[in-house]
Amino acid sequence: MTDPFTLSMLLIVALALSGLSVGIAMMCGSFLYLILMDMRFPRGFDPSITTEQLLQGLYNGYTLLAIPLFILAADIMNVGSLADRLLRFCQALVGRFRGGLGHVNVVSSVIFSGMSGSAVADAVGMGKIVINLMTRDGRYTPAYAAAITAATATVGPIIPPSIPMVLYALVSDQSIGYLFAAGLLPGLLMAAMMALTNFLIARRRGFPVDEAVPLRELPRATFEAFPALMLPVILLGGIYGGVMTPTEAAAVAAAYALTISVVFYRSVSFDAFWAALKAGSRSTGAIGVLIAGSITFNYVITREDIPNALAGFLAGFDLGPTGFLIPVNLLLLALGCVLEGGAIILIVLPILLPTAQALGVDLVHFGVITVVNAMIGLVTPPYGLLLFITANITNQPVGRIIAEIWPFILALFAALAAITFLPDFVLWLPRLLGYTG
């Protein structure tokens, strides 16, 4: 009789390739495993324990509440005028340099990332506006505008707050606050690398120098964007000041975004707010199904003792932390070409985490490496969700966007190498805040 685990894996792969949600595919594969194990060991196996595992995983996952709240905050900002005001502020700040609108794209992604925690929200919200600005009057090709928008959106979940970091905290039992802190400098490094890439391309192609916004208008642009700019300050100050937990900070983010959009900017109608609620519910539902499927499948992985088997296999190669991280990076980058980032974090990491810990890899550092890999996967073909989103915005063939995005992918690879081999750089801020790892 064929091994139940092998059959369950084949079913998961087949269902996922057929277009079914990865979360539902994992549930189906896990249920098949449970049925086959119950048939093989009718008296020594209790399949009902998985129901208990699932309910406990969801009931005890208090931090999971942060995910729908951060999603709601991002959707409210997208339906309001926050993105427009932030963009005007960024244009006044860096639009005067060669390739200025490309730099505006980078800086706006950095600022918006401190509010949404989602790469998709960045690409759909700020990305749609800045692409229209870049392609107006033919100053930039639509494919280049789409490529730099997709690339810069990867910064969103690295700079806190971050939805993928919350998922990583769920599977690794690490502090969300320290994970958020660890992502700040790597996120800024990624943004700097993409700004440098845009500068070099702008010089080589002779991109125009945009008309500079007079410096006397910078205070006005700053004042108009100030309420929105204060959101990351309130969130991070509250978390690291001990005033609120990350989950409470997510609730504050949603409430603050709604308040300034309705009261201060007066840019959100009831219909727009209702649309944001529906969009947030759909996104939350999709992530919830993925989490439920991963909790069920993780029980299967644990019962098969796969993490310990992998640790024993790698122990034979006498790998140190660096020797372990190199093949892990290659594995995660390869998986990112075909899997969504949340699936990588929830499915693959439970297998790798025990080995990483046994080899002395700091798990907060490992979390940043994992999330960066997952975000690079959003812009690598053939899956590349951000490629399809920006292609839809610009009505460009995905192949044309891929041809333009390779320099930015190489820049992200360089940033990933620095993040991997310089753990002190990643952990400097968490240690400053009291982290002892």
Domain coordinates of the chain in residue numbers? 1-47, 58-432
pLDDT for the residue 182: 94
Among 41, 62, 63, 38, residue whose Cα is nearest residue 50: 38
pLDDT for the residue 58: 56
**Hey, what amino acid is at 104?**
V
Q: How confident is the model at residue 186 (pLDDT cuts 50, 70, 90)?
A: very high
CB 372 within 8 A of CB 190: yes
Return the ∠ at Cα 187 (arms to 182 and 191), rounded to 5°. 165
* Residue 169 neighbours by CB distance under 10 Å: 25
β-strand partners of 98: 209
Classify 429 as helix, strand or coil: helix
**For tokens 């009261």, what's the residue?**
263
pLDDT for the residue 427: 95
- Residue range 168-193: mean pLDDT, rounded: 92
Q: Which of 40-49, 95-104, 326-335 comes out lowest in average pLDDT? A: 40-49
Q: What is the pLDDT of residues 56-79, one digit of tens each?
A: 555 555 666 777 887 787 777 767
pLDDT for the residue 258: 84
Reading the block at residue 284, the tokens are 């939350």
pLDDT for the residue 420: 96
More confident of the two residues 39 and 436: 436
- Residue range 172-194: mean pLDDT, rounded: 92
pLDDT for the residue 413: 96
Q: How far is CA 81 from the centre of its chain?
A: 23
Q: What is the pLDDT of residues 19-58, one digit of tens each?
A: 777 778 888 888 888 888 777 765 555 656 656 655 555 5
Residues in the chain: 437
Reading the block at residue 237, the tokens are 């100050």
pLDDT for the residue 41: 64
Among 101, 156, 111, 164, residue whose Cα is nearest residue 344: 164
Looking at the predicted structure, is the pLDDT value of residue 373 above 90?
Answer: yes
Reading the block at residue 46, the tokens are 């209790």
pLDDT for the residue 307: 66
pTM: 0.81
pLDDT for the residue 426: 95
Among 119, 146, 124, residue whose Cα is nearest residue 135: 146
Looking at the predicted structure, is the pLDDT value of residue 119 above 70?
Answer: yes
Looking at the predicted structure, is the pLDDT value of residue 179 above 90?
Answer: yes
Average pLDDT value for the chain:
81
Looking at the predicted structure, is the pLDDT value of residue 4 above 70?
Answer: yes
CA distances from 187 to 3, 49, 157, 230 (A): 43, 41, 8, 19
Reading the block at residue 155, the tokens are 């910064």
Cα(240)–Cα(52) distance, integer angstroms: 34
pLDDT for the residue 404: 93
pLDDT for the residue 232: 78
Measured over the CA atoms of residue 392, residue 398, residue 404 and residue 410, the dihedral's sign is positive
Percentage of residues in the chain having pLDDT higher than 90: 21
* Residue 303 neighbours by CB distance under 10 Å: 15
More confident of the two residues 219 and 129: 219
Among 49, 57, 2, 33, residue whose Cα is nearest residue 304: 33
pLDDT for the residue 51: 60
* Residue 215 neighbours by CB distance under 10 Å: 9
Reading the block at residue 336, the tokens are 């990112």
Looking at the predicted structure, is the pLDDT value of residue 371 above 90?
Answer: yes
- Residues in Cβ contact with 13 at an 8 Å cutoff, skipping those fewer than 6 apart: none
**Hey, what amino acid is at 253?**
A
Cα(267)–Cα(260) distance, integer angstroms: 9
Among 186, 243, 182, 225, residue whose Cα is nearest residue 88: 225
Cα(132)–Cα(247) distance, integer angstroms: 35
β-strand partners of 209: 98
Q: What is the pLDDT of residues 120-178, one digit of tens each?
A: 777 776 777 788 778 876 778 899 989 999 999 999 889 988 888 988 988 888 988 89
Percentage of residues in the chain having pLDDT higher than 70: 85
Q: What is the pLDDT of residues 388-426, one digit of tens each?
A: 888 888 888 888 999 999 999 999 999 999 999 999 999
Looking at the predicted structure, is the pLDDT value of residue 82 above 80?
Answer: no
Q: How far is CA 299 from the centre of its chain?
A: 25
What burial letters (b/e) apply to 94-126, b meaning 16+ CB within 10 Å? Answer: bbbbebbbbbbbbbbbbbbbbbbbbbbbbbbbb
Looking at the predicted structure, is the pLDDT value of residue 352 above 60?
Answer: yes
Reading the block at residue 87, the tokens are 């963009």
